[in-house]
Structure 1
Amino acid sequence: MSRPEDTLPPDLFYNDVESRKYTTSSRIKNIQADMTNRALELLDLKEPSLILDIGCGSGLSGEILSDVSEDEGGPHAWVGMDISSSMLAQALDRDVEGDMLLADIGQGVPFRAGSFDAAISISAIQWLCNAETADVSPEGRLKRFFDGLYASLKRGGKAVCQFYPKNAQQRSMISNAAIKAGFGAGILEDDPETKNVKVYLVLTVGGGDVTGTVSGMNGVDVYDARRKERKRGKEFEKKGSKAWILRKKAQMEAKGKVVKSSSRYTGRKRRVAF
């Protein structure tokens, strides 16, 4: 079965017909509710907050944000972004409570710095890995998105993005883009041994170890650009180290480029000459 993002861009795929089908499907609404509640659990907000809903669609997640009880730290106010005008039209017809913006998250997050306490995204960011034209790269779209998201969140803010990676390479590309933007990042999997596995990218503003700031994140894969750590028995590759240089050379060779042969001197630090 083909993935939606492999067929058409999201603004074309989610036309009036598809948007109506998505919004009225009881199965989809239940799945969306479960994932939104899981994202809120990971955010662990203690008081009513202003939340950015990335890829808000027809407001299914936003309705849950608005309905969070006082005992659970809500209700929350929210602002949504989506590229599909048809999806947003469905949200308007349903009279959801949030404010919504027609925008392409691959072009950035157009809000003033520090505007939001937190952010969520359900089944959206994998669309950034598809480029419809030759002059637009997935890497560029991911960079613009995560740079903008980082800036829009308050210091100490968190974001939880549920997504469906196509493969390990796409999963790594997404998490690495978040790290380069400055986030502390962790990947959490629910039901990993089943076909219903759900992947959550958990992000904290300011870097650092997400397991220390997000409940329920113990024992998960943690990515952090700001500290040197051992991961899966392999030392983190420091930029300029021999391992880093050899990996970069292998990447260049895979692209068909000519690189200088490695030797025992590759990556060795040179003494300073006076």
Structure 2
Amino acid sequence: MSRPENTLPPDLFYNDTEALKYTTSSRIQKIQSSMTHRALQLLQLKSPSLLLDIGCGSGLSGEILSAPSSAGTPGGPHIWIGLDISSSMLGIALEKEVEGDLFLADAGQGVPFRAGTFDAAISISAIQWLCNAESSSESASGRLSRFFNGLYASLRRGGRAVCQFYPKNDTQKTMVSSAAVRAGFGAGLLEDDPGTKNAKTYLVLTVGGGELDGDITGVVRGMEGVDVMDQRRKVKGRKRGEEIQGSKKWIIRKKEQMERKGKVVKANSKYTGRKRRIAF
């Protein structure tokens, strides 16, 4: 059976018929509930928070976010904002009168919220859709980059995100986690029931206060069962002081080379080499 994301873009696949079928399936409701509770456990929220639900669909996860806290998922009820590309899914959520605010948007084009808006974010069964380019002018890497950069900017310092997704293979798993790390996240992968048909993959993300040596990966590293990834750490075999492509030192050297060739380049400033954040 072909994976849904390999057949059509999500806004076309989840039409009125598929959206209703998805929402009313007792099997999907049970799985969605289980994964949402698991994501909340990994977020470890201690008090009611403002959450972003990426790929919120018809609000199945949102209903759990709005529910009072329980022994398994303390901290609620939470305030949440949902983002989804399917107007049919959001239409059902409106009919159900879910408690969250809803936005029609493509996560592959970024996360359209003010910097530092959210305490945390969750995403259930959505990120794998970003691994497909929907036109010849786009790429999977570009969509993932825009998404994770926007998500990073929208979370407050110290915030977390948990993204459950279904990677097609290890290559896709690495592509997703690497895009998150490049955006600045501390990242860890957790797999429940590995090696079975019920396997669930969770990408656990943290936003720390330091550029390299702060607590970005410290929290993730302390979580049981989560494998830490941080490509920003010193690459094995790299010599001390060696230039990193894209760093300030590397950029200045390249500009000097261009000047020697007679080309006009912009003057250096305190912003040279700084990573730019997405502005909305």
TM-score, reference length from structure 1: 0.81
Residue 215 of structure 2 is aligned to residue 198 of structure 1: no
Residue 28 of structure 2 is aligned to residue 36 of structure 1: no
Q: Is the 8 A contact 1:209 1:222 kept in 2?
A: no
Post-superposition shift, 1:215?
9.1
1:34-183 to structure 2, matched below 5 A, reads 34-69=34-69, 72-183=74-185
Report the equivalent of 2:252. Answer: none
**Mapped partners of 2:197, 2:47: distance in 1:** 35
**Mapped partners of 2:228, 2:32: distance in 1:** 25
**Quick one: structure 1 residues 70 and 16, their matched pair in 2 at CA, closer, same or farther if it must change by over 3 Å?**
same
Residue 230 of structure 2 is aligned to residue 224 of structure 1: yes
Post-superposition shift, 1:220?
2.9
**Quick one: structure 1 residues 191 and 239, their matched pair in 2 at CA, closer, same or farther if it must change by over 3 Å?**
farther
Post-superposition shift, 1:172?
0.5
**Mapped partners of 1:238, 1:147: distance in 2:** 26
* Letter paired with 1:17: T
**Once the two structures are superposed, what CA deviation does each residue of 1:160-210 show, in whole Å capped at 9, x if it has no partner?**
000000011111000000000000000000000311100000000137677
Q: Is the 8 A contact 1:59 1:96 kept in 2?
A: yes
**Mapped partners of 1:147, 1:84: distance in 2:** 22
**Mapped partners of 2:60, 2:26: distance in 1:** 11
Report the equivalent of 1:269. Answer: none
**Mapped partners of 1:197, 1:236: distance in 2:** 31
Q: Is the 8 A contact 2:51 2:122 kept in 1?
A: yes
**Mapped partners of 1:194, 1:17: distance in 2:** 30
**Quick one: structure 1 residues 123 and 216, their matched pair in 2 at CA, closer, same or farther if it must change by over 3 Å?**
farther
Report the equivalent of 2:7. Answer: 7
**Mapped partners of 2:101, 2:226: distance in 1:** 34
Post-superposition shift, 1:212?
4.1
Q: Which moved more, 1:204-213 or 1:184-193?
A: 204-213
Post-superposition shift, 1:101?
0.1
**Quick one: structure 1 residues 214 and 76, their matched pair in 2 at CA, closer, same or farther if it must change by over 3 Å?**
farther
**Quick one: structure 1 residues 210 and 202, their matched pair in 2 at CA, closer, same or farther if it must change by over 3 Å?**
farther
Q: What is the SS of the residue equivalent to 1:81?
A: strand
**Quick one: structure 1 residues 178 and 30, their matched pair in 2 at CA, closer, same or farther if it must change by over 3 Å?**
same
State the Cα RMSD in Å: 2.4
Number of aligned pairs?
238
**Mapped partners of 1:172, 1:241: distance in 2:** 27
Q: Is the 8 A contact 2:81 2:102 kept in 1?
A: yes
Note the residue ranges of structure 1 that are not aligned, 5 or more in a row.
229-234, 245-274
Note the residue ranges of structure 2 that are not aligned, 5 or more in a row.
245-280
Q: Is the 8 A contact 1:121 1:162 kept in 2?
A: yes
TM-score, reference length from structure 2: 0.80
Post-superposition shift, 1:82?
0.1
**Quick one: structure 1 residues 239 and 130, their matched pair in 2 at CA, closer, same or farther if it must change by over 3 Å?**
farther
* Letter paired with 1:218: E
**Quick one: structure 1 residues 54 and 238, their matched pair in 2 at CA, closer, same or farther if it must change by over 3 Å?**
farther
Post-superposition shift, 1:239?
8.9
Post-superposition shift, 1:57?
0.1
**Quick one: structure 1 residues 109 and 238, their matched pair in 2 at CA, closer, same or farther if it must change by over 3 Å?**
farther
Q: What is the SS of the residue equivalent to 1:213?
A: helix
